[in-house]
């Protein structure tokens, strides 16, 4: 084993800023030249000064930034925001994030409709994105739906047994979609746990059983729930524990063939 090739190597501070979304190398060097970057309270004057990135917290214009090789962000999505980077009618969820995070190549982990609220993950970690969104892994997403009419037992049963949805792809249209769980919450809302991510899936499933979703909120992905102390529009970094929680209920990818 080549131990030396695995040893973490210090990285120049302008390169660190660049990878963390603070603009071009030139812009990052400018931030340093203007005395706007510090590490552990010491202003960094040399753009080539190198640091180990593991656990590094640097400050830019007085704001602390923990280094993350790959970003995983939890956002409490408010209604009235689109998950696209190029929204058509409403502001983008990216406008809720600070500039360095907007600059990173993050994508929402499965889109929520403009009027859906709740837990949205964003990441630039491709394999994680795939694992959380691919129907193969069955990661459960828990939604709370306010429905137009009271949901009855027959509707709950139908949602769990499976409904057919109109799809352009005839193979998809022929495959019933089942809720992993459908039950009533004490406040009268419907809790729906879905393991696929078809377009408008929750709303279309509820419509397929003869009811209508008036408001939809995503409370959890896997074992990861929206923190109760995070307000609408707020965001936070997720660490390895958050990643583990989101993936906890994921099933291993079935073997090919």
When binding is defined by CB under 6 A, the residue of 201, 209, 225, 247 that contacts ligand URA is 201
Least distance CB 18 / ligand URA (angstroms) = 34
155 is a site residue for ligand URA (CB under 6 A): no
Which residues, 211 to 230, sit near ligand URA by CB under 6 A? 216
**Binding footprint of ligand URA, residue count (CB under 6 A):** 8
Which residues, 79 to 118, sit near ligand URA by CB under 6 A? 112-113, 116
203 is a site residue for ligand URA (CB under 6 A): yes
Stretch of 17-25, 100-108, 152-160, 197-205 contacting ligand URA, by CB under 6 A: 197-205
Least distance CB 212 / ligand URA (angstroms) = 11
Is there a catalytic annotation at residue 113? yes
The DSSP code sequence of the chain is --HHHHS---EEHHHHHHHTTS--HHHHHHHHHTT-EEETTEE---TT-EE--TT-EEEETTEEEE--SS-EEEEEEPTT-BSSSS-SSS-BGGGGS-HHHHHS--EESS---TT-EEEEEEES-HHHHHHHH-GGG---EEEEEEESSPPPHHHHHHHHH-B----SSHHHHTS-B--SEEEE-TTSPEEEEESS--TTHHHHHHHHTT--EEEEEEEEETTEE--TTPPTT-EEE--HHHHHHHHTTPPPPPPP-
181 is a site residue for ligand URA (CB under 6 A): no
Q: Which of 113, 169, 239, 240 is catalytic?
A: 113
Residues that bind ligand URA (CB under 6 A): 112-113, 116, 200-203, 216
Catalytic residues: 113
């Amino acid at each position: 084993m080549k131990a030396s090739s695995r040893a973490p190597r210090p990285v120049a501070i302008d390169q660190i800023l660049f990878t963390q979304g603070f603009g071009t190398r030139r812009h990052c060097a400018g931030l340093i030249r203007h005395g706007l970057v510090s590490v552990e309270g010491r202003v960094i004057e040399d753009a080539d000064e190198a640091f180990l990135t593991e656990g590094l917290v640097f400050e830019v214009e007085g704001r602390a930034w923990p280094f993350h090789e790959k970003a995983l962000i939890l956002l409490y999505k408010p209604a009235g925001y689109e998950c696209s980077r190029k929204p058509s009618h409403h502001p983008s969820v990216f406008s809720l994030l600070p500039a360095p995070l907007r600059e990173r190549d993050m994508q929402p982990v499965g889109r929520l409709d403009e009027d859906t609220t709740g837990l949205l993950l964003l990441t630039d970690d491709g394999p994680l994105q795939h694992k959380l969104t691919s129907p193969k892994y069955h990661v459960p997403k828990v939604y709370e739906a306010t429905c137009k009419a009271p949901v009855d037992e027959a509707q709950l049963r139908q949602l769990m047994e499976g409904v057919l949805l109109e799809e352009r792809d005839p193979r998809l249209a022929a495959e019933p979609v089942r809720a992993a769980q459908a039950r009533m919450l004490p406040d009268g809302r419907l809790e729906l746990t879905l393991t696929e991510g078809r377009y408008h899936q929750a709303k279309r499933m509820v419509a397929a059983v003869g009811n209508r979703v008036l408001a939809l909120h995503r409370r959890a992905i896997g074992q990861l729930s929206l923190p109760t102390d995070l307000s609408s529009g707020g965001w936070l970094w997720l660490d390895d524990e958050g990643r583990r929680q989101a993936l906890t209920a994921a099933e291993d990818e079935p073997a090919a063939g």
